[in-house]
Chains A and B, each alone.
Chain A
């Protein structure tokens, strides 16, 4: 059973410098929510708070009834972060260390099958391509069959073709598991292709600047008029005056005249 996520008054500061918030959000169970925004707007910080990797400075996060174990929340990082000494199969079973061997083997085999890596089960990470490594990382997050899956720009390092293929994989997985998914991305196409809801974060400190529910049927036709209209709306918002995540740098007088000798 998927779980809803409730975020109340969440904020995060580093050394007195506010980075994020306050943010209030309620994410419906079994949906994919994309959080989009410019670099430095606090997207990853928000996800790290959800995944328990950062302690919020203020506020509260409740997932489901608040009694979920670690195994119920999966996390996919921007990079594969596979243990280089473990085979793909052992990496996929990394979160199932306490589970009985037969159940673990079954869960790992299923996760590898879902991401299409059954044939590579005995390979080491050094033998994998970037796309395969990221799929192995996805299998590791999926093997415990999490109720909630947190994804931090998981496909940003991949080439456009592999990225699109992985996005299709993710939709397939969502159909298969029905988990509540939170996807951090700076790619508008990815957000619209995958998410039921798109939250635009603006900073700094990061706050919600837009909240959309694109009614695009999945799988999304990326050439459709509706897709372009939604993309334009997001582009307008992200390039508009309300979004100032990155400080504007001024070129100092005389800087242009410096030459590299």
Chain B
């Protein structure tokens, strides 16, 4: 089992490697013009050129900053409101219907309003990312708190725990697995929204490279930026999942025993 797990990541590389070979084959055979489908080697050389010029570092840095700020803001607001609505039925009755109604508004539809309110610079992009991150974190937290095992809460009651102490000592630790899932969902949406925000108007960042590649007819730049988005998204998700696993190592599940998701 240990050996199988050790090499499991290699199995996941088989299909991408085959696709890459097929892509290179199509490009080399000239079945698709380079203006439509540049070869993988051209994409790699574009990436290397971007790395050498410092463009890659600047773009990743700008996007990561927007992403980190928006993620932090979205998580903070979702945690406070989710904790409040999960713990207090009054807060839930007051706030949850409004939040659920706002959830049905497509997040990108907020863009014009955010631009009007916060301008075209960083604030509107960060807030758009925060909106994307907010909902999965909030929903997982509220749902998680509501679904905490009544039997565990009764243990708190027989020991005279107040509702606040039950929240802090039982509900919040119990909700941690659902919360981490919410954070991972929020992170994925955050990357999606930062790309959208940058495509709608930015002077730097990976989204800007995507837009620039399209405007100037250089698909190798578009593909290079897509690849970088993918790498950034995967790396941050991997780091968050690894951190989450250490926090919930007490779980008696197959995942907690080390199976990566």
Contact = CB atoms under 8 A, between A and B. Distances in A.
A79 B151 contact: yes
A81 B154 contact: yes
A70 B158 contact: yes
A81 B251 CA distance: 14
Interface string A52-91: 1100000000000000011101110101010111100000
Interface in B168-182: 169-170, 173-174, 176
Interface in B144-173: 151-152, 154-155, 157-161, 165, 169-170, 173
B252 A71 contact: no
Contacts of B250: 84-86, 124-126
- Among B158, B176, B250, the one with the most A-chain Cβ atoms within 10 Å of its Cβ is B158
Contact of A97 (B158, B169, B251): B169
A71 B250 CA distance: 27
Interface in A77-129: 77, 79, 81, 83-86, 94-95, 97, 124-126
A84 B252 contact: yes
Contacts, number: 53
Given A79-B151, A83-B152, A126-B250, A53 B160 contact: no
A81 B152 contact: yes
B78 to A, nearest CB: 22
B151 A53 contact: no
A73 B158 CA distance: 8
Contacts of B155: 77, 81, 83, 94, 140
Contacts of A22: none
A75 B154 CA distance: 10
A18 interface: no
Contacts of B169: 97
A124 B251 CA distance: 9
B66 to A, nearest CB: 34
Contacts of A70: 158-160
Contacts of B151: 77, 79, 81
Contacts of A85: 173-174, 176, 248, 250
- Among A53, A73, A75, A83, the one with the most B-chain Cβ atoms within 10 Å of its Cβ is A83
A213 B248 CA distance: 49
A51 interface: yes
A85 B159 CA distance: 18
Given A83-B173, A126-B250, A75 B158 contact: yes
Contact of A71 (B154, B160, B170, B173): B160
A97 B152 contact: no
A83 B176 CA distance: 13
A144 B160 CA distance: 12
11 contacts: A70-B159, A81-B151, A81-B155, A84-B250, A85-B173, A85-B174, A85-B250, A94-B159, A95-B159, A97-B159, A126-B252
Given A77-B154, A94-B155, 17 more contacts: A52-B157, A52-B158, A53-B157, A77-B151, A77-B155, A83-B155, A83-B174, A84-B251, A84-B252, A85-B174, A85-B176, A95-B160, A97-B161, A125-B250, A126-B250, A126-B251, A140-B155
* A-B interface, 7 closest residue pairs, ranked by CB to CB distance from nearest: A70-B160, A126-B252, A95-B159, A75-B158, A85-B250, A85-B173, A81-B155
Interface of A: 51-53, 69-71, 73-75, 77, 79, 81, 83-86, 94-95, 97, 124-126, 140, 144
Interface of B: 151-152, 154-155, 157-161, 165, 169-170, 173-174, 176, 248, 250-252
